[in-house]
Structure 1
Amino acid sequence: MSDERTSTVPRTIGRWLLAGLLVFAGISHLTFARKEFRAQVPTWVPMDADGVVVASGVVEVALGKALVVLPKERRRIGWIVAAFFVAVFPGNIAQWTEGRDAFGLTSDRARLMRLLFQPLLVALALWSTAPRKH
């Protein structure tokens, strides 16, 4: 593997943590938290909420696995993961604006604070998959 494809230990740890988070979130979409994830699908989405939750769960599991098993595609996958986090952000916004309780977020303040977490996930996806700088 060339130097530009290798990464530092902190980036590797971040990437593995992100992969684990994605796989866990994806499995939870498909199983025990499915109902709560349906609450995050905006009412204006013209698709079945359960179908959206299942599809996003499958995508999360696939992206989490790809971060680990496709090292030569690491950078590209990082951009795809970041784009995925941006794509699902309207669900977080809808949860806040529509006052939907899910995942222990039962106040407007808690739902608003959750919104601040999404840009951190985007940053982690890009940072943890970036090539090492010399």
Structure 2
Amino acid sequence: MKTTKTSALQNGFRILLGVFMLLAGIGHLTFQRAEFQAQVPDWLPFSKDSVVLLSGLVELTLGLAMVFWTRQKVSVGLALALFYVLIFPGNIAQYVNGTNAFNLNSDQARLIRLFFQPVLILWALWSTGGLTYWRHRQSPAAK
């Protein structure tokens, strides 16, 4: 995938998001493991701990890629955005089931959190140049 030029601001936000992903991955594997297990939907056919450990490894990988794999940053941004889409059912399950985790102990707090997932998706795409890549790929002039 072709690399898209990004600004210093975008690069700063890309690195910041990568660091957040690294911290989330470490949390999945260590001190926040039980909190993350509370968010795993009951309908998944895997153990909650396995899902948390696997998603933690994916987050560590994506976090490192966001910070260091700059030649493929568009692909990494698209992969991270897809990851955010794939984990969204866990956030929905937390809201629907009224599960308390991460100090989200009211329906209102859990509902508000749902609106932040699209922000993360856009952040991943914008900071890596994925939005620009996608826009140019879709434009008639690019064909």
Give the TM-score normalised by structure 2.
0.87
Q: Tell me the C-alpha RMSD between the 2 structures.
A: 1.6
Q: Which segment is superposed worse, 63-72 or 33-42?
A: 63-72
Long gaps (5+) in structure 1: none
User: What is the identity percentage for the equivalent residue pairs of Structure 1 and Structure 2?
Assistant: 47
- Structure 2 CA distance for aligned equivalents of residues 5 and 107 of structure 1: 41
Tell me which amino acid in the other structure corresponds to 2:50: G
- Structure 1 CA distance for aligned equivalents of residues 4 and 77 of structure 2: 13
- Structure 1 CA distance for aligned equivalents of residues 113 and 47 of structure 2: 24
Give the match for residue 139 of structure 2: none
Q: Which segment is superposed worse, 4-13 or 67-76?
A: 4-13
Tell me the secondary structure at the aligned position of residue 87 of structure 2.
helix
Contact 2:37 2:48 in 1 (8 A): yes
Give the TM-score normalised by structure 1.
0.93
- Structure 2 CA distance for aligned equivalents of residues 25 and 130 of structure 1: 23
Give the match for residue 118 of structure 2: 119
The 5-angstrom pairing of residues 29-44 of structure 1 reads: 29-44=28-43
Give the match for residue 49 of structure 1: 48
Q: Which segment is superposed worse, 118-127 or 5-14?
A: 5-14
Give the match for residue 97 of structure 1: 96
Long gaps (5+) in structure 2: 134-143
Give the match for residue 130 of structure 1: 129
Runs of 4+ in structure 1 off by over 2 angstroms are none
- Structure 2 CA distance for aligned equivalents of residues 106 and 40 of structure 1: 13
